[in-house]
Amino acid sequence: MRTLSILLLLSLVYAPYVKGEEGDSLWSVIFGGNDFDSFESLIKTDDGNYVAAGLTESFGSGEWDMLLVKMNASGIVLWSKSYGGPDLDAAFSVIQTIDGGYLLTGFTESFGIANRDLWIVKTDSLGDSLWSHTYGDSGMDWGSSASQSADGGFMIVGTRAPMFSPSDIWMIKTNSGGDTLWTKTFGSQQYADFCHRIIETSDGNYLLSGNIAGMMSLIKTDPNGNEIWQRSFVSATQFTTAESVIETQDGGYVAAGRNLAALGQYSAIWIIKTTAGGDSDWVKCYTGDQEYQSAFDVTQLSNGNLLIVGSRGNSLNDLDGLVMETDSSGDSLWLDTFGGHYAEEYFHAVLTANDGNYWVAGATGTYGLGSRDGWLLCLEGYTSATQPSPLPSPSSFTLHPPSPNPFNATTAISYQLQAPSHVSLKVFDTAGRLMATLIEGQRPAGMHEVTFDGSGLASGLYLARLTAGGFTATQKLVLLK
């Protein structure tokens, strides 16, 4: 475990570290006041900066409020905003929207019609609230994650818990103003089921992760919420849940989660790799030498390895933030923990920064002013000194999401070919008019990348369409100038 020595200064602490090996801490930022504050979600923004979302008890108008903090590439806070009323309100997810603003997803006990309702808040690019919507009935409902669809609306997922009934996985489609277009529920109808994450997949569909009947579960749907397939993993006696899911470089998926050893106590980290069709490639369980281990988020590195964050410790009151890297087969390469003694630390979000370093976000009970403070840690990223794991040969045709996206002027579009193929990669506007032809010709099997230059186009939504043999896929491009 690495114990950090940090100088406390008002509500924001910034501590630099000496550059070292992969996984070493470079600097740390702590955000909070005298009470409970936490980061739950972290994203890169189109202007090269970063946004974290979560909850704050120290700032705002109520017990808890939604929290949104924008930082530059050095972790320096540019601005922060809170949203809420007199009771408990919190954000578990933030995404950047097509117009450059943000959408926060979570719950509210201050507004709505029930004890707790799913709540989304839409802001402009400076974090000022534009509108908000609540969804729910007489039970306890909350939102976990969201994705913006090609039509400008939103796919929102969470958990719906009606009075006197088991909870269900809840999927809501809205228009661009947050008005409900349709809703879907999934679950066992006999047990408490939960949803934690939604991602848009490279084939234009959606993948949800969570828990159904006590098992880590994935549900793939089409854009209308119709189920394509559903898969559950690990024995129900383990009570496992998939906290996070990503699409991998080979077109499959990786889900990261945890299992419940006893009521309120999670004992092991579970990582599951599947094919594009949801069939299991491998399942890994990491117990270590500590009594409690949890995984909350996962990302894939450029070398194909996996970076997993969560918490680890001997008791629920003595947890440290956990960071672990595995190879592409799920075998652990290194694991480290960060925190103090006899306090709760955790990391709930991870990403690879623009400079290749790793950013992890969560909360600390050791450092800062309050019982818990938002914690952002920058770790040394992968370097050429670290031997990369060999990437597997592509087992499918895949068009990956562009990066960055949204973008200003240029973005990289990558794709993989299972076999040599005639490739057509074109960009269209939403009216179907051809804007650019990026590739038209034969390409070998393997990974490929091309740069799209939109400097001559107006800001807006565009569609990249890949055709290779009998395979066709589309990804949305959001140009912001």
pLDDT digits 0-9 by tens, 128-173: 999 999 999 878 999 999 999 989 999 999 999 887 788 999 999 9
Residue among 373, 362, 364 nearest 340 (CA): 364
Task: Report domain extents, the chain.
Answer: 12-379, 398-479
CA 442 to chain centroid, in Å, comes to: 35
For residue 469, what pLDDT band results from cuts at 50, 70 and 90? confident
> Residue 316 pLDDT > 80, yes or no?
no
Residue among 259, 227, 267 nearest 243 (CA): 259
Q: What is the pLDDT of residue 290?
A: 63
- 6 phi/psi in degrees, rounded to 5: -130, 130
Q: What is the pLDDT of residue 206?
A: 97
Instruction: Determine the CATH number of domain 398-479.
Output: 2.60.40.3080
Q: Which residue has the higher pLDDT, 131 or 430?
A: 131
Tokens of 208: 């949800």
255 vs 359: CA distance, rounded Å = 19
> Residue 305 pLDDT > 70, yes or no?
yes
Rg, the chain, Cα only? 21
143 vs 425: CA distance, rounded Å = 36
Residues belonging to the chain: 481
When pLDDT is averaged across residues 109-114 and rounded to a whole number, the result is: 88
Query: Checking DSSP bridges between strand 117-123 and strand 129-135, what pairing results, if any?
Result: antiparallel
Q: What is the pLDDT of residue 389?
A: 43
CA 351 to each of CA 91, 92, 298: distance values in angstroms, whole numbers, following the listed order: 18, 16, 8
Q: Which residue has the higher pLDDT, 285 or 171?
A: 171
Residue 445, classed as helix, strand or coil, is coil
Q: Which residue has the higher pLDDT, 411 or 443?
A: 411
Residue 99 has a CB neighbour count (10 Å cut-off) of: 17
When pLDDT is averaged across residues 223-244 and rounded to a whole number, the result is: 88
**Most confident of the ranges 16-30, 174-188, 391-405:** 174-188
CA 436 to chain centroid, in Å, comes to: 31
CATH 2.120.10.30 is the classification of domain 12-379: yes
When pLDDT is averaged across residues 441-466 and rounded to a whole number, the result is: 87
Q: What is the pLDDT of residue 149?
A: 92
When pLDDT is averaged across residues 38-67 and rounded to a whole number, the result is: 94
- Mean model confidence pLDDT for the chain: 87
Residue 334 has a CB neighbour count (10 Å cut-off) of: 12
